[in-house]
Structure 1
Amino acid sequence: MTVRTRPALWWRCAIVLSAFLGIFTSNSSLVYFTLQSNVIVLGYFLGAAYWMLKRNTVDAPAPRLRGAAVLYITITGIVAHVLLNHGANPLPGLVSGPDRLQHWSSFFLHYTTPLMVLADWLVLSPRNASRWRDLPLWLSFPLGYAFLTEGRAMLFPDFPVRYPYFFLDPTEHGYGWVGLQMLQLTVEFVVLGALVIGLDRLGTKLRRTPSPAPTPDAA
């Protein structure tokens, strides 16, 4: 059986398609963490599909990079659904109302792609490849994004979209409030990163291991 007939390859190709559709139909820019995380997912899984075909393997390459992509796209999904959309049902906007194309784009970026990537992380190999020491490295990107946003806004006050997200905007509540928001998000991201690693290990335990072959009775 070749890798072309294995569900893992086609699932990862579907992730590429989902991320591409979300990015291609979006009217947002790369200043948003949403777009950046989806670009990372798109690039990683494109590379993974190429690797799988070239090596004829179902194992995705660079498991540490894979874990980082999982964390970033999961942050995107949770922040969008909880903080930005306040838990609203995203489905009605897909079939009615103005800007249906942007609703579809948002659905791909914030829901379809994150859920597919999480399923890939939990079910598909390689399993048990992440390490606890990976967590600080993974967190450097979202935290760096926040500090870069603040620094850019101070240095370039005319920059378009100075504060892509309300919790990074000190205009109304000041930098102290923003600092508390960033501290709270950091704690939540640490917990989320630990959960990502835990899911990796849980997926290993959920995989059924073959029973050892019975040994013949001694004569």
Structure 2
Amino acid sequence: MVRHSDVLTGAPNWTTLLFYTMVSNLLCLVWVALLVVRTARDLREAGASGTSTPSPRASGAVMMAITVTMLIYLVVLVPARFADGDSDIFSLTDNLIHIITPLLVIVDWLIFVPKGEFRWIDPLLWTLIPYAYLVWAFAYGALGGEFTPGQKYPYPFMDVDVLGVGGVTQWIVALTLALIVVGLVFVAIDRTLAALARRIPRR
């Protein structure tokens, strides 16, 4: 995030914090800080055994929020940037915030979060985070805000001026369905791992 916002150059670009990518990465940063505190407490009280998280279902929400960043980057933004002739794709900065962070959060969930807590309704609830961003972004642009100079939409699939209301709606519906499917896969993995853990005899 420091690299992406040009903080190290001495001329930071704070408008980068307005994009969902940065919002979701900031969410992960806050969540990891909570994990550090909780893990330290659990180590002190129970020792180095078992799992540690403030909330398994909240961990799923954070994981889904950052997974949205990765999937939209790989499926929507990268092809669009290729089509526009952008040669600076998959730079270190892009990889860190769009791919590496999401994968690390998923791995953290797989290894350290108790399984069997997800519910089948959770994927619908997890969409509330990206939807809250959509509502805010559309309102921000409608009120005259700009994400970059002259750009009142943060992402091409949200550009009502180009795609029209119908086109943007189709994109949002398609992405919503795709994300719900991914969320259901996470729930299925959660329940499968919980079932396997119950079959392993405890010593």
Q: Deviations over 1:129-175 (max 9, x none)?
A: 22223333221111121222222222226564411100000122211
The residue type paired with residue 72 of structure 2 is V
CA distance in 2, matches of 1:144, 1:79: 16
Q: Note the aligned Cα RMSD (angstroms).
A: 2.9
Matching of residue 30 in structure 1 with residue 23 in structure 2: no
User: Partner residue of 1:45?
Assistant: 32
Structure 1 segments (4+ residues) deviating >2 Å: 86-89, 122-125, 132-137, 157-161, 202-213
User: Partner residue of 1:73?
Assistant: 66
CA distance in 2, matches of 1:88, 1:164: 14
Matching of residue 54 in structure 1 with residue 25 in structure 2: no
- The verdict on how the C-alpha distance between 1:159 and 1:67 changes in structure 2, with shifts beyond 3 A counting, is closer
CA distance in 1, matches of 2:81, 2:192: 30
User: Partner residue of 1:156?
Assistant: 144
The normalised TM-score by structure 1 is 0.73
The residue type paired with residue 62 of structure 2 is A
User: Partner residue of 2:91?
Assistant: 103
- The verdict on how the C-alpha distance between 1:183 and 1:45 changes in structure 2, with shifts beyond 3 A counting, is same
CA contact (8 A) 2:146 2:153 kept: no
Gaps of 5+ in 1: 1-22, 90-96, 214-219
- The verdict on how the C-alpha distance between 1:154 and 1:50 changes in structure 2, with shifts beyond 3 A counting, is same
CA contact (8 A) 1:131 1:197 kept: yes
CA distance in 2, matches of 1:128, 1:166: 37
| Greater C-alpha radius of gyration | 1
The secondary structure found in structure 2 opposite 1:25 is coil
The residue type paired with residue 174 of structure 1 is G
The residue type paired with residue 177 of structure 2 is V
The secondary structure found in structure 2 opposite 1:24 is coil
The residue type paired with residue 26 of structure 1 is H
Query: Structure 1 residue 209: deviation in Å?
Result: 4.3
* Aligned residue pair count: 183
User: Partner residue of 1:169?
Assistant: 159
